[in-house]
Amino acid sequence: MRKTALLAAVLAIAACAPAFNPESVADATADQLAKVEPPCWWSGMKNSLQLMVNGPEISRYDVSFEGLKGVKVSEIHKADSPNYLFVDVAVTGNVEGDGWLVFSEGGKPVMKAPYHIGRKATGERESFSTADMIYLIFPDRFANGDPSNDRIEGMNDPDGRDVYLGRHGGDIQGIIDHLDYIASLGATAIWLTPVLEDNQDFESYHGYAVTDHYAIDPRFGSNALYKEMTDQAHARGIKVIMDIVTNHCGTFHWMMKDLPFEDWINQWPEYTNMNAAFSTNFDPNASQYDLALQEDGWFVPMMPDMNLDNPFTLKYLQQWALWWTEFAGLDGLRVDTYPYNEKEPMSRWCQAVLADYPWINIVGECWTSTADQLAYWQGGNANPDGFDSHLPSIMDFPLEEAIVAGLCEDGDANMWGRGLTRVYEALSHDATYHDLSNMMTFLANHDHNRLGDTFNANPDKMRMALGLLATVRGIPQLYNGDEMLFSRAYDNWHDGSKRSDFPGGWKADITVPDLFTAEGRAMDYYAPAPYPRTVSPELYDFTAKLFQWRKNTPVLHDGKTMHFLTRDNTYAFFRYDGTDTVFVFVNNSSEPHTIPWDHYAEINGGLVEGTDVITGAKVNPSAGLSVAPQSILIVEF
């Protein structure tokens, strides 16, 4: 009875406690409180909330959360720097509204800052899968929809279209303006290279040296405009994938002048470059010295290496991905330089994202030419060391290299290990991978040479490449401009030259054909740098027809593969399921080849007349059908 009475008294006192009066505490000024990250949060999240608070001598304060029932500070952590606090905030129930972070000293409130708690969106979204074609956009070089943001006062690295590695003015509005063009290609998802603030003083245009994790670079637009882009994309049936960089940031990041912890980043007595030896993560013969360089070395001098072994750094990067997914309504994530991260913490990063968004797909850039080394990084793989990355999807670099190298090798006979035999051999390793449905297939991306240069401006080579991309297993990704075989912009070979501007994306250049339009594609092409030196506009129709067809052909999304080996620079394979079959024959040789239909007897029974996917004509591959040199035949039965 005494305990019951005591509890009743406590509850009565609590009920009578005065509500927090915001007017009783001064608002924190920018000089007192510089950052609170994440800038808002949501109830219903499985991941707990840890605020990073930054301001001069902020560590001398106690912190409480006032004004929202069910939200309270559970623990406060001091950092190495007195200018940071890490504040654990418990959010219980289905709370929503505005509350206050109250900073007190000696029991007396000194200042307050508003903080919003929303409600997590209900229901699951559909992430990218084999049913999609992903269109990769390099925003600075795609389209300039808002010239007024080309130069922003106070931002480093001003625009200059004549500068190889400078900013050219492409932005988010330019992407919004051309979403219909993207949809016309049959693309159902877009992946943008990073658009967060990259305020480096040089080569900031690519976005991979982030200087503020929670702000869109104003030269690309704003947080609100990015969210509008995702809304506009969704209205057209296009998913949005954000490029996430957990391994490094930029030397001009606002934290770099005053790190929260000395080991927030990996530091060395002098600059130490990584060694790109991914194998050290599982090689039984690897030295700890080489592994340390792989995990802790810097990518380049302008990109400090984040230390995910620090639990506060890891939590910061987990929440960052969660915040953008919820705020912008993202449909997927792409993780840059995945194996450069400390692997165990990065596995926990994936688990944290998937805990709140179990439906989301995450693809990691694991740039290796070897199938077993690539397979190691896909979640669920039966690795001998027991490691599980929990990373759902991986980029299929071995297949990309095989397709491109094979198509570049001419010849007709005795193509042992060369020509299209490379593609056969790459796909022969499919048993190595844990989940073939979660392999991102591609021909090139922003880090590769332009295919217009690789294929020497040969549209026949590009048709074969596009046909393979559309029909092999996996999730196809197409880099912007490859639908028209863009070449580099300048004679010399460097990243800036490869990332040529998209003709038509800069309306001020009135003499440049607008390749976003049929009228522009019908014009004779001439455009000076920074536009591509050569283009093949006639490929647009081929690309659009191919991927619009693929979008509505489930056997290419989920079907099995059977392929047949030759040594004459041809390649034949079937995609099939219980009801449908697609037959593909690629002839990369210089001579016409008759389809050896009898060789395929184990699978072609009952397949007589099909439809040429590109021409729409009826074809009978069994009737001695000849395929022209450097061409591809795709037949749907």
pLDDT digit string, tens, across residues 14-36: 444 568 999 999 999 999 999 99
Strands 108-119, 189-192: pairing is unpaired
- Coil/strand/helix, residue 240: strand
State how far the Cα of 228 lies from the Cα of 190, in Å rounded to an integer. Answer: 14
pLDDT at 3: 47
State how far the Cα of 127 lies from the Cα of 171, in Å rounded to an integer. Answer: 24
pLDDT at 18: 67
State how far the Cα of 219 lies from the Cα of 152, in Å rounded to an integer. Answer: 7
Give the residue numbers marked as catalytic: 336, 365
Strands (E), 177-234: 189-192, 196-197, 212-216
Half-sphere exposure of 308 (CA within 13 A, CB side): 23
Average pLDDT in the chain: 95
**CB contact set of 319 (below 8 Å; sequence gap of 6+):** 37, 38, 47, 49, 50
State how far the Cα of 374 lies from the Cα of 368, in Å rounded to an integer. Answer: 6
Which residues on neighbouring strands pair with residue 584, listed in sequence order? 573, 634
State how far the Cα of 106 lies from the Cα of 110, in Å rounded to an integer. Answer: 10
Q: What is the mean pLDDT of residues 232-248?
A: 98
Q: Between vectors from CA 549 to CA 541 and to CA 228, what angle results, nearest 5°?
A: 80
pLDDT at 554: 98
For 434-477, the pLDDT digits (tens) are: 999 999 999 999 999 999 999 999 999 999 999 999 999 999 99
pLDDT at 10: 39
Sign of the Cα torsion 562, 566, 567, 569 reads negative
Two domains, one topology: 21-119 and 134-551: no
Least confidently predicted of 88-97, 217-226, 490-499, 574-583: 490-499
SS3 content of the chain, % helix, strand, coil (to 5): 30, 20, 50
The domain defined by 21-119 folds into: Immunoglobulin-like (2.60.40)
> CB of 564 within 8 A of CB of 593?
no
Q: What single-letter amino acid sits at 188? A: T
Q: Between vectors from CA 180 to CA 204 and to CA 464, what angle results, nearest 5°?
A: 80
Q: What residue segments make up the domains of the chain, in order of their start?
A: 21-119, 134-551, 559-636
**CB contact set of 410 (below 8 Å; sequence gap of 6+):** 419, 569, 588, 589, 590
pLDDT at 8: 47
> CB of 543 within 8 A of CB of 123?
no
> CB of 125 within 8 A of CB of 359?
yes
More confident residue, 581 or 2: 581
134-551 has which CATH code?
Answer: 3.20.20.80
For residue 38, say if its preceding peptide bond is cis, omega within 30 degrees of 0.
yes
State how far the Cα of 420 lies from the Cα of 415, in Å rounded to an integer. Answer: 8
- The total number of residues shown for the chain amounts to 637
Burial class from Cβ neighbours inside 10 Å (0-12, 13-18, 19+) for residue 270 reads exposed
State how far the Cα of 159 lies from the Cα of 530, in Å rounded to an integer. Answer: 13
pLDDT band at 9 (very low <50, low <70, confident <90, very high): very low
DSSP 306: B
**CB contact set of 514 (below 8 Å; sequence gap of 6+):** 503, 504, 520
Alpha-helix residue ranges (DSSP H) falling in 239-342: 288-296, 311-328
User: Is domain 559-636 annotated with CATH 3.40.1010.20?
Assistant: no
